[in-house]
């Protein structure tokens, strides 16, 4: 099912309960324009609201680049036009937050260059799966810019302060193997296996209890936002889950030694 124009620089489609967001500007290595940032946010919102979608995957139409970063032409425009600069900043923030705060799990499928704004997209997904040959870099210091605080925090949460400092202070590119070692990505596979690994991971997620996964993602976000202990809301969610249809099915399936057939859907 196609839900956005495939001729657009960003489009999405749904297949087998997986929503796919495609970065589609291969001749420019998916350099992100303001319009593309806006389109990513719109695509996430569309797929997140669709009850048939259980997992959202962000990927490129090209194996050369996930995204090489910001559109340089628009950076020049932003240097001269303060209104556009703020519009672009907001578009970037909204796109990244939409991936991080979607109700449903988000996966970045990475091949080739994942630099600057492209890396910003990837680190705001829940899971990052990359192919050998991919490379990563965050390069504001090469452009006289300052990396946003919220993005800096997300990077530190993934790789720790030391690796974050090394990446940001030097602007150097790291290989897929280095990215895996430092925690920037979660899985590294051969290029020819990337698609099957993405599908396998998404299929594993979509076959489990969506009630559980939604609640788990909410709690992960609460912890990342600074909550350190249960409150009345999280305690209630814990107790209510045990009365739910998925908990009943999960227990029955365990006792009967069969695969669970979870029924909850929003």
* 98 close to 45: Cβ distance less than 8 angstroms: yes
Q: How is domain 10-206 classified at the architecture level of CATH?
A: Alpha-Beta Complex (3.90)
pLDDT at residue 187 greater than cutoff 70? yes
User: Quick one: pLDDT at residue 3?
Assistant: 61
User: Quick one: pLDDT at residue 1?
Assistant: 47
75 band by pLDDT with thresholds 50, 70 and 90? confident
Distance CA 2, CA 217 (A): 27
What does the mean pLDDT of the chain come to?
A: 95
Kindly list the domain boundaries of the chain, sorted by start residue: 10-206, 209-256
* Bridge partners, residue 53, by sequence: none
209-256: what fold?
A: Lyase 2-enoyl-coa Hydratase; Chain  A, domain 2 (1.10.12)
pLDDT in tens, 235-247: 999 999 999 999 9
Q: For residue 223, give every residue at least 6 positions away whose Cβ sits within 8 Å of its Cβ, in sequence order, or none.
A: none
pLDDT in tens, 27-59: 999 999 999 999 999 999 999 999 999 999 999
pTM (two decimals): 0.95
Sign of torsion over alpha carbons 117, 215, 158, 173: negative
């Amino acid at each position: 099912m196609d839900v956005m124009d495939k001729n657009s620089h960003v489009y999405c489609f749904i297949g087998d309960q997986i929503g796919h967001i495609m970065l589609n500007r291969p001749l420019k290595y998916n350099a992100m324009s303001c319009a593309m940032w806006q389109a990513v946010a719109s695509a996430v919102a569309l797929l997140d609201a669709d009850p048939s979608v259980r997992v959202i995957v962000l990927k490129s139409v090209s194996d050369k680049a996930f995204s090489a970063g910001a559109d340089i032409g628009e950076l020049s425009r932003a240097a001269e036009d303060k209104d556009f600069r703020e519009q672009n900043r907001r578009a970037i923030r909204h796109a990244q937050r939409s991936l991080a705060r979607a109700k449903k799990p988000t996966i970045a499928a990475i091949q080739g260059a994942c630099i600057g704004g492209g890396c910003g997209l990837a680190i705001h997904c829940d899971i990052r799966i990359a192919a050998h040959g991919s490379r990563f870099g965050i390069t504001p210091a090469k452009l006289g810019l300052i990396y946003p605080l919220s993005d800096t925090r997300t990077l530190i949460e993934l790789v720790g302060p030391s690796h974050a400092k090394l990446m940001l202070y030097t602007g150097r590119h790291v290989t897929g193997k280095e990215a895996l070692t430092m925690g920037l990505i979660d899985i590294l596979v051969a290029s020819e296996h990337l698609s099957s690994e993405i599908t396998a991971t998404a299929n594993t997620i979509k076959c489990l209890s969506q009630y559980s996964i939604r609640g788990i993602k909410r709690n992960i976000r609460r912890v990342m936002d600074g909550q350190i202990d249960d409150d009345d809301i999280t305690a209630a969610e814990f107790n209510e889950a045990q009365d739910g249809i998925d908990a009943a099915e999960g227990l029955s399936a365990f006792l009967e030694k069969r695969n669970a057939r979870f029924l909850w859907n929003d």
